[in-house]
Amino acid sequence: MMGARRLADVPGGGSAGPRAGLSLVEVLVALAVLGAAGAALAGLQLGALRTGRVAQERQLAAALLADELLVQRLVATAGAGACATGALPPGWACSAERACHAAYPACALTLVTVTVTPPTGAPLVGRTAVRAASAVGP
């Protein structure tokens, strides 16, 4: 039997040594772990984008509030009602209210309340006091 070959001598046949490579189960488990990690990272990224948008909206609301409070303090003819700072982005609301405090014999001190409301989120409220021109001392 010179021409007979043993099974271990045939390439790919027999179990003479350890097999190289990964099994299908190992590959599927690795893909499942990668998918779970990818989903977690996607959720984290979505949360960061949402937080960034809210922060940008709050920053714009604070800037609008500061501008309107400045106008209400400096412009003598500024009154209650809609804000005087100009056009607002779509969906935004801004209002100013004036209340007379320390009214002896005339309104010497006016409390100005400005409310800026973005389309989403809570309104931002700011207050300042304005003295009447006759009440300002030397």
The pLDDT profile of the chain, 138 residues, written as one tens digit per residue, is 555 555 555 565 555 567 788 899 999 999 999 999 999 999 999 999 999 999 999 999 999 999 988 888 888 677 788 888 778 889 999 999 988 876 555 777 888 899 999 988 889 999 888 877 654 444
Residue type, 40: A
pTM score, whole prediction: 0.64
**Residue 46: its pLDDT value, please?**
96
Domain boundaries, the chain: 22-135
Q: What residues have CB less than 8 Å from 12, skipping those under 6 apart?
A: none
Structure tokens at 71: 């106008």
CA distance between the termini of the chain:
126
CA distance 35 to 41: 10
